[in-house]
C-alpha cells in the first residue's frame, strides 16, 4: 500500500509537529510550568506517524505512558494536549490525566495507561465490541519492548489470536526500557518472532522509515479489517531522550545516540520529498512556521485556561 504524495507531505508535517511539540513541552516542564512526569518520543516520530496514519479516523489506538506522539499522530488537538499536560480543565481529560493518560475517544484515542501493557486488554475489549457489532473498526495497541515481557501482553495477544480480534499489536522497540538496554532483557532481535507462537503474522520494520512503517501497518490493518485477525508489527527505532525528561541517562551505551541520529526519520522523508520535487526549502520553512504558531497557540491556551475546581473533583467519577 503506497501512500499518496499528499499523504507523505501530511506525514512529514505531523512528524515535525511531534518533534517540535515535545521539544517545547520538555522545555516547559523543565521550567516548572507543569507537574508530573514527562516521557518524550523524540527519535520515534516515524514509528508513531506511519502506524497511526495507516488507521481510519474511527479506528482506535491504545496509547502508552510515552503517548504524546501516538496521540498527535492519531489527530489529537495540540491545544487539548498541552492543556492536559498543564492539568487544566480544557485538557483532553479535563486536567485529570496529565501526560501519561491522554485520551480523546472522539478521535479513537483510548486512554493512555501508565501501567505497562495495561492499555492492551482495554483495546482488546474495544476490538471485540467492533467484531460483535459487525463493524469493521480496528484497534492498534502500542507497547514497548520492555512491556513485551509483561504477562498481560502475552495473555492479550494469545486471546486476540484465539478470538480473531481486529487488532494490530505495534511494538516500538526503542532500545531502552527505563534504565535497561534491550540486550539486557531480550534474547531475540525482533519481537516479531514471537508472533508465530500466538498464531498471528509478525513483521519487523525500520521504525525510522515512516514509509516502511506505513506500508507494513496498512497491511496488518487491512487484514484485521477484513476479518483476518490480529498481527504484530515490531518497529525498530530509538528514543533519543532519557526515559523521562531530566533522566541523566548514565546507562546509555556509548556512541549509540550518534549512530541513531544518523537515521533521524525527519530528514529521511524530507530528502525523498525534496528529491521528488514535492517539497522545497520555502515549503519546509512554511511548515515549520505554521507548526510553531500552532504550538505557541497551544501554550497560550494552556496558560490561560482555568484549573478544575475542588468542587468539581468528583464530577467525572463513575461510582
Ligand X SMILES: Cc1ncc(C[n+]2csc(CCOP(=O)(O)OP(=O)(O)O)c2C)c(N)n1
**Position among 45, 59, 104, 145 found at the interface with ligand X (CB under 6 A):** 145
3-state secondary structure of 113: coil
Cβ pair 99, 92 in contact under 8 A: no
Could you say whether residue 146 binds ligand X (CB under 6 A)? yes
Class of residue 233 by CB neighbours under 10 A (exposed 0-12, middle 13-18, buried 19+): buried
Q: State how far the alpha carbon of 206 is from the alpha carbons of 201, 254, 268, in Å.
A: 17, 22, 12
Could you say whether residue 179 binds ligand X (CB under 6 A)? no
> Closest CB to ligand X belongs to which residue?
144
Cβ pair 70, 287 in contact under 8 A: no
Residue 12 or 142 with smaller CB distance to ligand X = 142
Tell me the torsion sign for CA atoms 177, 182, 188, 190: positive
Could you say whether residue 22 binds ligand X (CB under 6 A)? no
- Least distance from ligand X to the Cβ atom of residue 120, Å: 12
Could you say whether residue 170 binds ligand X (CB under 6 A)? no
Cell numbers given for 60:
482506535
**Dist CA 256 CA 216 (whole Å):** 26
Cell numbers given for 80:
487539548
**Dist CA 279 CA 289 (whole Å):** 15
Could you say whether residue 9 binds ligand X (CB under 6 A)? no
Could you say whether residue 85 binds ligand X (CB under 6 A)? no
Cβ neighbours around 29 below 10 Å, total: 20
- Least distance from ligand X to the Cβ atom of residue 190, Å: 14
**Position among 116, 140, 161, 224 found at the interface with ligand X (CB under 6 A):** 116
Could you say whether residue 100 binds ligand X (CB under 6 A)? no
Residue 59 or 241 with smaller CB distance to ligand X = 241
3-state secondary structure of 205: strand
Could you say whether residue 274 binds ligand X (CB under 6 A)? no
Number of residues that bind ligand X (CB under 6 A): 15
- Least distance from ligand X to the Cβ atom of residue 76, Å: 18
Could you say whether residue 178 binds ligand X (CB under 6 A)? yes
- Least distance from ligand X to the Cβ atom of residue 62, Å: 13
**Dist CA 153 CA 169 (whole Å):** 9
Q: Which stretch binds ligand X (CB under 6 A): 84-92, 174-182, 219-227, 273-281?
A: 174-182
Could you say whether residue 65 binds ligand X (CB under 6 A)? yes
Residue 227 or 246 with smaller CB distance to ligand X = 246
Could you say whether residue 195 binds ligand X (CB under 6 A)? no
**Position among 93, 174, 231, 235 found at the interface with ligand X (CB under 6 A):** 174
Residue 26 or 83 with smaller CB distance to ligand X = 26
CA 299-300-301 angle, to 5 degrees, is 90
Cell numbers given for 190:
525482533
**Dist CA 98 CA 83 (whole Å):** 9
**Dist CA 77 CA 293 (whole Å):** 14
Could you say whether residue 101 binds ligand X (CB under 6 A)? no
Residue 64 or 231 with smaller CB distance to ligand X = 64
- Residues near ligand X (CB under 6 A) are 65-66, 114-116, 144-147, 150, 174, 176-178, 243
Amino acid at each position: 500500500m503506497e501512500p499518496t504524495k499528499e499523504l507523505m507531505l501530511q506525514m512529514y508535517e505531523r512528524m515535525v509537529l511531534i518533534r517540535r511539540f515535545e521539544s517545547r513541552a520538555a522545555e516547559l516542564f523543565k521550567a516548572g510550568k507543569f507537574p508530573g512526569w514527562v516521557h518524550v518520543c523524540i527519535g520515534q516520530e516515524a514509528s508513531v506517524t506511519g502506524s497511526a496514519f495507516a488507521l481510519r479516523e474511527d479506528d482506535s489506538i491504545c496509547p502508552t505512558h510515552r503517548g504524546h506522539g501516538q496521540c498527535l499522530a492519531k489527530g489529537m488537538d495540540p491545544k487539548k494536549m498541552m492543556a492536559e499536560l498543564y492539568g487544566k480543565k480544557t485538557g483532553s481529560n479535563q486536567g485529570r490525566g496529565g501526560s501519561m493518560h491522554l485520551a480523546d475517544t472522539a478521535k479513537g484515542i483510548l486512554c493512555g495507561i501508565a501501567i505497562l501493557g495495561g492499555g492492551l486488554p482495554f483495546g482488546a475489549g474495544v476490538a471485540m465490541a467492533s467484531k460483535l457489532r459487525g463493524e469493521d473498526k480496528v484497534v492498534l495497541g502500542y507497547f514497548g519492548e520492555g512491556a513485551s515481557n509483561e504477562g498481560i501482553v502475552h495473555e492479550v495477544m494469545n486471546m486476540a489470536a484465539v478470538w480473531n480480534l481486529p487488532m494490530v499489536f505495534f511494538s516500538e522497540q526503542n532500545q531502552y526500557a527505563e534504565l535497561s538496554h534491550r540486550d539486557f532483557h531480550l534474547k531475540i532481535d525482533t519481537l516479531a518472532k514471537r508472533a508465530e507462537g500466538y498464531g498471528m503474522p509478525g513483521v519487523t520494520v525500520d521504525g525510522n522509515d515512516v514509509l516502511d512503517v506505513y506500508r507494513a501497518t496498512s497491511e496488518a490493518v487491512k487484514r484485521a479489517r477484513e476479518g483476518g485477525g490480529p498481527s504484530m508489527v515490531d518497529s525498530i527505532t530509538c528514543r533519543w531522550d532519557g526515559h523521562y525528561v531530566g533522566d541523566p541517562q548514565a546507562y546509555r551505551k556509548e556512541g549509540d545516540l550518534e549512530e541513531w541520529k544518523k537515521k533521524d526519520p525527519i530528514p529521511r522523508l524530507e530528502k525523498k520529498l525534496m528529491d521528488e520535487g514535492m517539497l522545497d526549502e520555502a515549503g519546509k520553512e512554511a511548515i515549520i512556521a505554521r507548526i510553531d504558531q500552532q504550538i505557541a497557540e497551544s501554550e497560550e491556551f494552556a496558560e490561560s485556561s482555568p484549573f478544575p475546581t475542588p468542587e468539581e473533583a468528583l464530577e467525572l467519577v463513575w461510582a
